[in-house]
Amino acid sequence: MSLALDAITFKYRGTTRPILAEISLEVPSGTSVALMAPSGAGKSTLLSIAGLLLAPDSGSVAINGTRRSVRDGPVLLGKEVGWILQSVNLLARRSALDNVALPRLARGARRRNELSHAEELLGAVGLHGDLQRPARKYSGGEAQRIGVARALMSSPAVLIADEPTANLDLATARDVARALFGAARERTALLIATHDEAIASMADRVITLETSAAL
């Protein structure tokens, strides 16, 4: 089992009722869970807790069976915990390949190995051919695929995707989502928030957060 949330409760300061009340879920390695809920239901909040950016008021987060807290966040971010957001923020002037490999090269990994791993991951999300073009020359959908490859570069145990296709047109969004689910399938636990039912249905399990918990 790779990501486990147990009885997570969270309330924003100054609000009267918890936005999350006793939420438990497990995402085994190699599987995916989609969070579907209306805007404001607490998806981003729950993802932030799962990704060790925000401490719950009570309940626990475990990654690969080890209980973790926000104090572990800075060490695990980009390694055991990968993020994909709506906006991918590539280095515009660097190549697709560099954008995927750079986070690893910064840690002093062997350049040739890392570049070939980056190329493999870009292939896995459907980007082949010339990967030396600067990132700003890629379309929105291609850029998001580069972001997926970048997030997978460290083989994270947990991959958290917060509306990763929200800025794309419907058809592109679904293609990118298919690439994301495919590339993550091997050994990552994928937790994805989405508004799109077609995308949620690609996940192994769909969890719906009730907005009423927030009121």
Q: Is 65 helix (H, G, I), strand (E, B) or coil?
A: coil
Decide: is 12 part of the binding site for ligand ADP (CB under 6 A): yes
45 to 64: interface string for ligand ADP, x by CB under 6 A: x-------------------
Q: What are phi and psi of 69, to 5 degrees?
A: -130, 175
Cβ neighbors of 62 (< 8 A, separation 6 or more) are: 3, 4, 6, 68
Contact between 212 and ligand ADP (CB under 6 A)?
Answer: no
The interface region with ligand ADP, picked from 42-50, 73-81, 141-149, 182-190 by CB under 6 A, is 42-50
Residue type, 188: T
Is 158 near ligand ADP (CB under 6 A)? no
Give the nearest distance from C-beta 162 to ligand ADP in angstroms: 7
Q: Which is nearer to ligand ADP, 44 or 155 (CB)?
A: 44
Verify binding: residue 39, ligand ADP, rule CB under 6 A: yes
Taking CB under 6 A as the rule, does residue 42 contact ligand ADP?
A: yes
Q: Does 9 bind ligand ADP (CB under 6 A)?
A: no
**Is residue 61 within 8 Å of 49, Cβ to Cβ?**
yes
Strands (E), 39-164: 58-63, 66-68, 81-84, 158-162
Tell me which of 3, 8, 19, 191 binds ligand ADP, using CB under 6 A: 19
Question: In the set 40, 66, 110, 136, which binds ligand ADP (CB under 6 A)?
Answer: 40
* Binder among 44, 60, 64, 155 for ligand ADP (CB under 6 A): 44
Please check whether residue 76 is in contact with residue 41, taking contact to mean a CB–CB distance below 8 angstroms.
no
Based on CB atoms, which residue is closest to ligand ADP, 105 or 213? 213
Q: Is the separation of the CB atoms in 8 and 23 below 8 Å?
A: yes
Cβ(53)–Cβ(70) below 8 Å: yes
Judge whether 35 and 46 are in contact, CB under 8 Å: yes
- Return residues touching ligand ADP (CB under 6 A): 12, 15, 19, 37, 39-45, 214
